[in-house]
């Protein structure tokens, strides 16, 4: 099939590199022809931009990068959407696109328009309850009349996306169950659940160079006797730094040799300030920036990994990318309940422990169970990651959706003859 894939996220962003390009690479191998529109924050002459340009060229992905506009708020998004629509329309007319695959809500505005204009099939790859995420994350203040209007607009559009798409992709079963409860018109919604998958060829213990790992350990002042708790990814909005530091503070009282390794590109000062305010010695913290290819070796320094995410309504649809990556390394997880399908996955396996409330009592109960968790077979955790988060399986599910739409289109054509 000829697929127009529209992403408002840039391919030079970490998200594009971890959650868009790997999927498209696999879909190209399946024989699909992919045209990709994205909005880029990096400048065309930057190192990151040039690298991605070459990567996509080698992968035979036809890339149409647009400049991301950041200011002024709302108007900048309208400018970007206008440019996306113009580019999409040109590609559809010139290349005979079969399906427009839209990642999240801004892109879906384009998809809905192109479907009505050209009659092509439209996949709404929702990624999450985006408008509700903006409220839950306090990015939009609903008390502000402008943001209230914008929220109302996108909730109305959300309904149209669901009712007019030919296929819906949800990250979680939890979100699918929620959507099916809504009073939507038309036939039962075709929803495929495909979580945020991980590149199991990258996130594997066999990729770790032990000599390099030992050199990094020394550089970070981590000894073999240290008990290392790791955190992977950005801090803020959804991720609950204070609560994770509270957990570590209690862990430190139980394990004097504990260290908290943050693998993040965020400001070390913010993390250190928060830790100092809680009385955590700064020499117990290690904060390290890492490229995507470096993440596995830094993760391998830890015995266990943690992430706490705000358990709000919009997070029913959340599939933390880091979960599959960490489990791919055979590392057990501590996380909180009430997020996507996390409860179900950890309940079905012994790959981690759930925190049901953010209290010292709950943290103590989890810490007491940690020793049993640490003796789990790392190979089994890895197999669970392959079961739930395999990139190849995820790409195959996308490909099956494309093929299903092809069959529907052919049957529709034959039915009209």
Look at 350 and 46; give whichever has higher pLDDT.
46
Residue 14 is predicted with a pLDDT of: 83
Distance (Å) of CA 25 to CA 20, 30, 33, 201: 9, 9, 10, 14
State the Cα–Cα distance between residues 404 and 167, nearest whole angstrom.
Answer: 9
Check residue 96 and give its pLDDT. 93
Q: Is 15 exposed, middle or buried (0-12, 13-18, 19+ CB in 10 A)?
A: middle
| pLDDT value at residue 45 | 87
Q: Residue 12 carries which DSSP code?
A: T
Answer yes or no: are the C-beta atoms of 104 and 289 closer than 8 Å.
no
Which candidate, 302, 330, 307, places its Cα nearest to that of 229? 302
Q: Is domain 2-195+391-416 annotated with CATH 3.40.50.620? A: no
Closest CA to 65 of 7, 117, 137: 7
* Intra-chain end-to-end CA distance of the chain, in Å: 22
Q: Which band of pLDDT confidence, cut at 50, 70 and 90, is reported for residue 347?
A: confident
Which pLDDT score is estimated for 296? Answer: 96
Among residues 295, 316, 294, 319, the alpha carbon closest in space to that of 307 is found at 319
> What is the predicted pLDDT for the residue at 350?
82
For 204, how many CA atoms within 13 A lie in the half-sphere containing its CB?
11
Q: How far apart are CA 3 and CA 230, in angstroms?
A: 39
Size of the chain in residues: 417
Is it the case that residue 417 has pLDDT exceeding 60?
Answer: no
Query: 375-389: per-residue pLDDT in tens?
Result: 888 999 999 999 999
Q: Whole-model pTM?
A: 0.89
CB proximity list for 247: less than 8 A, separation 6 or greater? 306, 308, 334, 355, 363, 366
Mean pLDDT confidence for 29-46: 93
**Using an 8 Å Cβ cutoff, are 9 and 107 in contact?**
no
Mean pLDDT in residue range 294-303 = 96
Residue boundaries of the structural domains of the chain: 2-195+391-416, 205-389
Q: Is 405 exposed, middle or buried (0-12, 13-18, 19+ CB in 10 A)?
A: buried
Provide the pairing of β-strand 304-307 with 227-232: parallel
Q: What is the pLDDT of residues 183-215, one digit of tens each?
A: 887 677 899 999 999 989 999 999 899 999 999
Condensed to tens digits (0 to 9), the pLDDT of residues 219-263 reads 999 999 999 999 999 998 889 999 999 999 999 999 999 999 999
Radius of gyration of the chain (CA): 22
Nearest to 174 by CA among 342, 334, 390, 323: 342
Q: How many CB atoms lie within 10 A of CB 403?
A: 13
Q: State CA 340 to chain mean position distance.
A: 12
CATH architecture of 205-389: 3-Layer(aba) Sandwich (3.40)
Fold: same for 2-195+391-416 and 205-389: yes
CB-based contacts of 290: which residues, under 8 Å, 6+ apart?
263, 298
DSSP string, 164-231: H-SEEEES-HHHHHHHHTS---SSPP-EEE----B-TTTSSGGG--HHHHHHHHHHTT--TT-EEEEE
């Amino acid at each position: 099939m000829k697929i127009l894939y529209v992403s408002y996220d840039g391919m030079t962003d970490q998200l594009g590199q971890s959650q868009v390009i790997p999927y498209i690479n696999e879909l190209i191998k399946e024989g699909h022809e992919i045209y990709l529109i994205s909005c880029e924050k990096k400048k065309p002459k930057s190192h990151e931009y040039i690298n991605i340009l070459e990567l996509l060229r080698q992968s035979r992905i036809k890339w149409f990068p647009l400049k991301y506009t950041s200011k002024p708020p709302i108007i900048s998004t309208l400018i970007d959407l206008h440019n996306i629509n113009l580019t999409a329309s040109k590609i559809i007319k010139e290349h005979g696109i079969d399906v427009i695959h839209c990642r999240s809500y801004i892109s879906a505005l384009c998809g809905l328009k192109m479907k009505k204009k050209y009659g092509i099939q439209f996949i709404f790859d929702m990624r999450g309850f985006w408008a509700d995420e903006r409220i839950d994350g306090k990015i939009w203040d609903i008390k502000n009349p402008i943001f209230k209007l914008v929220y109302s607009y996108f909730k109305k559009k959300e309904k149209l996306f669901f009712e007019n798409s030919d296929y819906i992709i949800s990250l979680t079963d939890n979100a699918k169950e929620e959507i099916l409860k809504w009073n939507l018109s038309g036939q039962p919604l075709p929803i495929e659940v495909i979580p945020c998958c991980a590149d199991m060829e990258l996130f594997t213990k066999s990729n770790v160079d032990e000599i390099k790992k030992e050199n990094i350990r020394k550089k970070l002042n981590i000894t073999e006797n240290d008990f290392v708790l790791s955190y992977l990814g950005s801090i803020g909005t959804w991720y609950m730094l204070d609560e994770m530091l509270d957990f570590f503070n209690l862990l430190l009282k139980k394990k004097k040799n504990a260290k908290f390794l943050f693998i993040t590109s965020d400001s070390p000062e913010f993390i250190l300030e928060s830790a100092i305010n809680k009385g955590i010695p700064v020499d117990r913290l290690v904060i390290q920036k890492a490229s995507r290819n470096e993440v596995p070796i830094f993760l391998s320094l830890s015995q266990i990994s943690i992430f706490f995410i705000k358990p709000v309504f919009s997070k029913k649809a959340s599939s933390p990318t880091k979960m599959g990556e960490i489990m791919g390394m055979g590392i057990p997880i501590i996380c909180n309940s009430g997020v996507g399908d996390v409860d179900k996955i950890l309940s079905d396996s012994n790959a981690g422990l759930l925190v049901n409330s953010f209290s010292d009592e709950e943290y103590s109960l989890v810490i007491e169970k940690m020793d049993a968790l640490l003796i789990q077979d790392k190979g089994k955790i890895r197999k669970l990651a392959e079961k739930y988060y395999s990139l190849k399986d995820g790409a195959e599910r996308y490909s099956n959706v494309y093929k299903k739409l092809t069959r529907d289109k052919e049957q529709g054509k034959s039915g009209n003859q």
